[in-house]
Structure 1
Amino acid sequence: MATSTQHGLVGSAKPELDLSGADWQSGSKGAGDVQIAFVEGFIAMRNGGTPGSPSLIFNPAEWRAFVVNARDGAFDLT
């Protein structure tokens, strides 16, 4: 597994993933939107407006918890 300096840690320690060839997906085409990529069994998330900034790395259980809580409004700021 190659390493990259683009990584973030969420929860327990994660491997350093090579995200240089990741297939980033976006829910919109706007600048600054969130992008995700599936890499080696993990989910990477980054700011599409600044793709060189660090990415957050989630394992599948963490990703599911994030999505469920987001759908339930846990991160709404209003």
Structure 2
Amino acid sequence: MSTSELAWFKSSYSGSQGDDCVEVAVTEQAIHVRDSKDVTRPHFAVGREGWSQFVGFVGSAPRA
């Protein structure tokens, strides 16, 4: 699947000022992540299980 075929959306945790934003696209096989400020750069993809572990880890981290 090409990048243009993915349904990208901005993370709900991205700032509303246009800074430090990421976009994600979900497929059956993976979660794709890219920098919304420069969508021409390559994105990365991680399997659903790895993504779930990452989100669980981030969600349990203490807030500064």
Given the two structures, how large is their TM-score scaled by the length of structure 2?
0.74
Higher helix share goes to which structure?
Answer: 2
The equivalent of 2:45 in structure 1 is: 57
Structure 1 unmatched runs, 5+: 1-16
Question: What is the deviation of 1:56?
Answer: 1.4
**2:54 is aligned with 1:66:** yes
Q: How many residues align?
A: 60
Q: Tell me, yes or no, if the aligned pair for 1:31 and 1:48 is still in contact at 8 Å.
A: no
Distance 2:31 2:52 in 1: 10
Distance 2:20 2:6 in 1: 18
Which structure shows the higher strand fraction?
A: 2
The equivalent residue for 1:23 is 7
- Which piece of structure 1 moves more, 21-30 or 64-73? 21-30
Q: Which runs of 5+ in 2 are unaligned?
A: none
Which has the higher relative contact order, 1 or 2, with Cα contacts under 8 A spaced 6 or more apart?
Answer: 1
The residue type paired with residue 24 of structure 2 is: I
Offset of residue 52 of structure 1: 1.0
Query: What one-letter code is carried by the residue in structure 1 that aligns with 2:6?
Result: A
Q: Deviations over 1:19-61 (max 9, x none)?
A: 2211101124524401100134211001101111111101110
Relative to structure 2, which stretch is displaced further, 49-58 or 27-36? 27-36
CA RMSD of aligned residues (A): 2.2
Distance 1:40 1:19 in 2: 15
